[in-house]
């Protein structure tokens, strides 16, 4: 019986790898579980299969069932949940599982890379992007053969979390140097060069890629745009359109954003398709049929390409007074092509009478509240509200973002990274990066190697009057009311330990440290503030893990049990 179970399980794994959606995978896994319900590995096979088949809810249930057992499959279940929640765009849950994984294993560079990706997707952009860099550094140190893969992942994750060109460009360049065959990263790098006004680099990269695929429209557009910009730069002084004019429109930045959003599936066309799937009937009933190419031919140069053309081919406007159907804070409705063209003609006929619509600026009116206000896309693709005689009011980063907000509001899935999180300043602010850890830990370190009559030792006992002093390994520790234990040899302090559950000052032992946090976040905190990783080990008898850092000439040790810090101690170097 046992041999049959093992053969079924092995076959299930092999078939899962080759054909993950094959129904035989589930049959084999269920047969194993019928014989041995405790086999977490069989549950994992079944969960992977259900996820591959698109049944995220059932896969989640199975992964959580494995995670609840806390056995040797726990970390794989945690990784699977991290992947599942990320794919479902549940960013906060993906981040929670990323930190859970690192609470179990903080050695692998890819787990740190996944943490950075999850942080950035959840709105912790800067922290996440820095973590991606740190993961690459860790890979170079611990697994140099995997460095090309790590560099490609960093570029992919920077792109996927909408990092600006100035962050993406150097990462993509480094990735391409180690893997010149990654055409998608290279194409995006070319458009990022345009957004950074590096036209020569964009042209040369585009030409190289076109030699590999001469039919690629995106690459042809890249090269044409780069050459156009080079000509403008050469003749800037004599032309009506200068480089400064181009910079003011944000046209090149928008080209980068549009190709990036297309790659990520968060562009305007994707948003409108997603809206179609969740749109309430009340809104659908107000929308006119989409305009055809023939309908828009008259206004070929008038209907803008930032947003208006996509919107009009989707639906050619809404009747006046129907804006409330969007369920937004204000009753703006889509304008029709006829309305946009008529309004443009009126503005051009008498510029002086329309000072809110400047001739030398980029704008496309797309919606109106029928009371004189408009939603308008302007330079860099931003969406603003424009009212007569008033400054423009920001509404969204783009028309696509405004539509995605409506999709989310109607209960649809929103694939965008979370917006930047702004955190309230802590009562005890974190030290600046690179400065030593602060708090009671500094007093503990100062007492190490000092005699009992020293001021540093006196300060330590003042802070912890209930601490016990152990002067011989043959004498067991007595209970300490402070949870602090001092070891002294030949009259000199050699070690200070703190039982976190008992010590009343544990929460300020290291200022700003989250004692209940995951190992990944704690490790990142102490490393950012002067501690250097040295060693780690696991006590197989009780499962406790100890992580050791060099700090201030001594050793700082954090002992973990059941996912939380159990003890903190310092010893001489």
Class of domain 264-410: alpha beta
Contact present, 120 and 95 (Cβ < 8 Å): no
pLDDT-based confidence at residue 444 (cuts at 50, 70, 90): confident
Q: Give residue-wise pLDDT tens across range 519-535.
A: 777 887 888 777 888 88
Percent with pLDDT over 90 in the chain: 47
Average pLDDT, the chain: 86
pLDDT-based confidence at residue 424 (cuts at 50, 70, 90): very low
Q: What is the mean pLDDT of residues 377-398?
A: 93
Predicted pLDDT at 476 = 60
More confident residue, 47 or 477: 47
Domain 1-235 sits in which CATH superfamily? Answer: Tetratricopeptide repeat domain (1.25.40.10)
State how far the alpha carbon of 514 is from the alpha carbons of 187, 313, 351, 420, 523, in Å: 42, 52, 60, 22, 11
Give, as one character, the DSSP assignment of residue 573: -
CB atoms closer than 10 angstroms to residue 231: 12
The maximal CA–CA distance of the chain, rounded, in angstroms, is: 99
State how far the alpha carbon of 82 is from the alpha carbons of 155, 289, 360, 564, in Å: 20, 42, 49, 20
Structure tokens at 424: 């309230």
- Kindly give, in sequence order, each residue whose CB lies less than 8 Å from that of residue 20, ignoring residues fewer than 6 positions away: 48, 49, 52
Predicted pLDDT at 263 = 82
Indicate whether 429 pLDDT > 50.
no
**Lowest mean pLDDT: which of 62-66, 237-241, 317-321?**
237-241
Phi, psi of 558 (to 5 degrees): -115, 120
* Domain range summary for the chain, segments of one domain joined by +: 1-235, 264-410, 437-572
Indicate whether 35 pLDDT > 60.
yes
């Amino acid at each position: 019986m046992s041999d049959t179970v093992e053969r079924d399980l092995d076959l299930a794994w092999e078939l899962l790898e080759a054909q993950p959606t094959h129904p035989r995978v589930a049959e084999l896994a269920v047969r194993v579980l019928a014989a041995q319900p405790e086999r977490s590995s069989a549950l994992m096979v079944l969960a992977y299969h259900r996820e591959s088949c698109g049944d995220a809810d059932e896969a989640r249930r199975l992964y959580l069932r494995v995670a609840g057992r806390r056995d040797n499959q726990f970390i794989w279940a945690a990784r699977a949940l991290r992947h599942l929640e990320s794919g479902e765009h549940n960013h906060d849950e993906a981040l929670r599982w990323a930190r859970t994984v690192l609470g179990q294993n903080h050695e692998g560079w890819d787990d740190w890379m996944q943490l950075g990706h999850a942080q950035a997707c959840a709105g912790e952009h800067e922290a996440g992007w820095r973590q991606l860099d740190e993961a690459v550094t860790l890979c170079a140190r611990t697994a140099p053969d995997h460095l090309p893969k790590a560099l490609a992942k960093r570029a992919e994750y920077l792109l996927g979390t909408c990092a600006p060109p100035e962050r993406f460009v150097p990462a993509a360049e480094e990735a391409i140097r180690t893997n010149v065959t990654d055409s998608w990263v290279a194409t995006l790098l070319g458009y990022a060069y345009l957004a950074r006004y590096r036209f020569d680099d964009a042209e040369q990269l585009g030409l190289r890629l076109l030699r590999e695929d001469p039919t690629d429209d995106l690459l042809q557009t890249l090269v044409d745009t780069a050459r156009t910009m080079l000509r403008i730069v050469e003749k800037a002084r004599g032309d009506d359109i200068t480089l400064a004019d181009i910079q003011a429109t944000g046209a090149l930045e928008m080209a980068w954003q549009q190709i990036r959003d297309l790659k990520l599936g968060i562009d305007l066309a994707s948003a409108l398709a997603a809206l179609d799937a969740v749109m309430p009937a009340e809104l659908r009933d107000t929308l006119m049929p989409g305009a055809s190419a023939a309908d828009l031919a008259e206004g070929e140069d008038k209907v803008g390409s930032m947003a208006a053309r996509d919107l009009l081919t989707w639906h050619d406007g809404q009747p006046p007074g129907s804006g409330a159907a969007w369920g937004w804070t204000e009753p703006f409705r889509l304008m029709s092509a006829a309305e946009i063209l008529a309004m443009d003609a009126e503005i051009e006929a008498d510029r002086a009478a329309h000072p809110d619509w400047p001739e030398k600026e980029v704008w496309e009116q797309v919606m109106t509240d029928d009371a004189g206000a408009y939603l308008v896309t302007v330079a860099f693709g931003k969406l603003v509200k424009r009212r007569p005689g008033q400054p423009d009011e920001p509404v969204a980063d783009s028309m696509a973002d405004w539509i995605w907000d409506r999709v989310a509001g109607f209960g649809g899935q929103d694939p965008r990274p979370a917006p930047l999180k702004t955190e309230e300043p802590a009562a005890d602010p974190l030290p600046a990066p690179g400065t030593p850890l602060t708090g009671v830990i500094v007093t503990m370190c100062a007492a190490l190697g000092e005699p009992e009559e020293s001021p540093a030792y006196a300060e330590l006992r003042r802070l912890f009057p209930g601490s016990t002093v152990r002067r011989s390994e043959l004498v067991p520790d007595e209970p300490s009311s402070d949870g602090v234990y001092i070891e002294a040899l030949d009259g000199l302090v050699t070690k200070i330990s703190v039982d976190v559950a008992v010590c009343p000052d544990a929460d300020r032992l290291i200022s700003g440290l989250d004692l209940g946090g995951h190992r990944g976040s704690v490790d990142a905190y102490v490393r950012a503030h002067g501690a250097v990783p040295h060693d780690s080990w696991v006590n197989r008898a009780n499962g406790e893990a100890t992580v050791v850092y060099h700090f201030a000439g001594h050793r700082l040790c954090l002992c973990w049990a059941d996912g939380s810090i159990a003890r903190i101690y310092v010893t001489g170097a």
